A and B are shown apart, each in its own frame.
Chain A
Amino acid sequence: MAQPRVVIIGAGPAGVRCAEVFVAAGLRPTIIDEGRRDGGQIYRRQPANFSRSYEALYGTEAGRAEALHASFDKLRGQVDYLPQTLAWNISEGRVHLMHNDGVRRASSLVYDILVLCTGATDRLMPTPGWEYAGTYTLGAAQVALKSQAVAVGRQIVFLGSGPLLYLVASQYIKAGAQVAVVLDTSALALQWRALPKLWARPSLLWKGMLLLRAIRRAGVPIVRGVTPLHIAGNAESGVQGVHYRTAAGAEHHQDCDAVAMGYHLRAETQLADLARCEFSFDTASRQWLPQVDEHGRSSVAGVYLAGDGVRIRGADAAENAGRLAALTALADHGYTVAPEQTAALLQQQLRMEDFRLGLQQAFPWPAGQAAALPDTTVICRCEGITAGELRAVVTLKGAREANRAKAFSRVGMGRCQGRYCAHAGAEVIAAELDCPIAEVGRLRTQAPVKPLAFDVVEEQQ
């Protein structure tokens, strides 16, 4: 029997652990990575001429980051690694690639086993003024620090909810940046109530507590249960401050020249969609996610899903999921897999799922903000389309479904292809119709998943 051709997309925690299992079984997977180096976003590697230590870069996760990088370095000779390569389409058993490593060229690859380890990006709810220069995602703020040793501003407000809010704020403080305030839209009571589920991973819960303590010890205020009102500033100067309302109803203003914002994460599901995987609505996170069984099988034979690109369970769970998907794919293709290996991983993933549900409960996506956004608020940052324009296509043109509203309003049609507006846009539509969010549906993925230059012709295989 010819060896199955294995393609892994993504070289973060899921992709690297997945590759490791295939290599151990004697296969040579191809790893497609849009990044310059392996590690994904969470364990992103700094450029080779930077000198900060693992401890300085990754804090409590230094050991895991170093272990993942070391594992990947060891694999280098046994895999085909394609960095700076975008998988822009999947069609009829073939992945289409654009290589940006030096000479730009396009190619395609046939696969028997495809494992999508595509990760996640920040999930955004607009606040009026978020289009001003100096507004960044929480992930962006972290990338700036980790891979470039820069802060995104001189005085920074952290706004949103989720573990990343506190993690990045504490990393900024530790690196010597000026953090003005941490504004969490989630109430403390919600965080207390989620404790039983979060107890599924006591060590991670403890790390979270240490982060909070570090922020407080630095004298940086943490305000919970806030409602963001607007980001002050203008088209020329960019961000100048954040206006918010406290849980008690008082309005406050904080001067700043940068805002790092985000509400936990959204899965990067475009490639799963192009591979024709079925999706279902996840009520816990209020987002559409690809269907996957506990082993990592999608609804399409030969296509496996692992990591935050399918369920936002974080880096440790992604490592497990990557291994699990590879073991499952091997078993499905006639390889012998030790059942106890799979069983142990499955057992661990149960706790990861409890913790995921706990995080969703503790730091909920602030769906209710959508209805309250003024009509002038920009929903689509790419093309400056406002909440009022989106509401108008719902009420005046009868666009009750996300794709129709996109066609009429262009929300979701810009260069980010809905990554930063689709979730909020769906909430705006649902609020306008007073219908359940799942009824609005989800944006269908169109290839290319990111903008391409059209002067490159794909090499024929």
Chain B
Amino acid sequence: MSVDMSAEARSRFVRLGETERTVVNFFMNGRPVSAMQGDTLLTAMLQQGDHVRRSEFGGEKRAGFCLMGACQDCWVWNAEGGRLRACSTEVVEGMAVSTNAPESTWPNLA
């Protein structure tokens, strides 16, 4: 079986069960999207696309790595600019998350 990887912004994680849960609505980069109660932010965000942030060193997409809070690869940011570890943060109704580090918008005064 070959894999169709042409579609842009397709989900990375694939649900295999537990799909009868309550729907939770949240915002990703300002866009209203939905997840299920009990999803981590990582699961919820990787249903909406194929990454949660970009590496500030190489620019490549990142989508988490260890899923147990050890690697820090899945950092995302809340509306206040606070950093969240997507793999160990549960998605809650009305949450707003950003895939861009707030400091990436700071002026470079160097």
Tell which of A45-53, A59-67, A71-79 binds the partner: A45-53
A-B pairs under 8 A by CB, number: 152
Say whether A149 contacts B18, CB under 8 Å: yes
Interface of B is mostly: loop
A153 on the B face (CB < 8 A): yes
Say whether A381 contacts B65, CB under 8 Å: yes
A152–B43 Cα distance when bound, in Å, is 9
Interface residues of B in 30-56 (CB under 8 A from A): 37-40, 43, 46, 50-51, 55
Say whether B1 contacts A155, CB under 8 Å: yes
The interface residues of chain A lying within 8 Å CB-to-CB of B73 are: 381-382, 416
A48–B22 Cα distance when bound, in Å, is 13
A368 on the B face (CB < 8 A): no
Say whether A143 contacts B70, CB under 8 Å: no
Within the complex, which residue of A50, A133, A137, A148 is in contact with B12, where a contact is CB–CB below 8 Å?
A133
What distance in Å separates the Cβ of A120 from its nearest Cβ neighbour in chain B?
A: 10
A415 on the B face (CB < 8 A): yes
A114 on the B face (CB < 8 A): no
Within the complex, which residue of A36, A139, A154, A257 is in contact with B66, where a contact is CB–CB below 8 Å?
A139
User: What are the interface flags for A229-271 relative to B under an 8 Å C-beta threshold, 1 for contact and 0 otherwise?
Assistant: 0000011111010000000000000011110000000001000
Within the complex, which residue of B18, B40, B63, B87 is in contact with A50, where a contact is CB–CB below 8 Å?
B18
The contact size tier of chain B is 35 or more
Interface of A is mostly: loop
A238-B58 CB under 8 A given contacts A49-B37, A133-B63: no
Say whether A122 contacts B66, CB under 8 Å: yes
Say whether A381 contacts B71, CB under 8 Å: yes
Within the complex, which residue of B18, B51, B72 is in contact with A415, where a contact is CB–CB below 8 Å?
B72
Within the complex, which residue of A177, A236, A383, A453 is in contact with B16, where a contact is CB–CB below 8 Å?
A177
The interface residues of chain B lying within 8 Å CB-to-CB of A49 are: 21-22, 37-38
Q: Which residue of B lies closest to A144 (CB)?
A: B67
Say whether B66 contacts A451, CB under 8 Å: no
B17 on the A face (CB < 8 A): yes
Within the complex, which residue of B57, B62, B83 is in contact with A133, where a contact is CB–CB below 8 Å?
B62
Interface size on A, residues (CB 8 A): 59
What distance in Å separates the Cβ of A329 from its nearest Cβ neighbour in chain B?
A: 27
Which residues in B have some Cβ–Cβ distance to A below 8 Å?
A: 1-3, 5, 12-18, 21-22, 37-40, 43, 46, 50-51, 55, 57-73, 75, 82-83, 87-88, 90
19 A-B pairs within 8 Å (CB atoms) are namely A49-B37, A136-B67, A140-B67, A144-B67, A148-B38, A149-B15, A150-B14, A150-B46, A153-B13, A155-B1, A178-B1, A235-B59, A256-B3, A257-B3, A383-B57, A419-B71, A420-B65, A453-B82, A453-B83
- A-B pairs with lowest CB-CB distance, top 10: A235-B60, A47-B38, A140-B67, A415-B72, A384-B57, A133-B63, A149-B18, A150-B13, A143-B67, A384-B58
Which residues in A have some Cβ–Cβ distance to B below 8 Å?
A: 34, 36, 41, 46-52, 121-122, 131-137, 139-140, 143-145, 148-155, 175-178, 234-238, 240, 255-258, 268, 378, 381-384, 415-416, 419-420, 450-451, 453
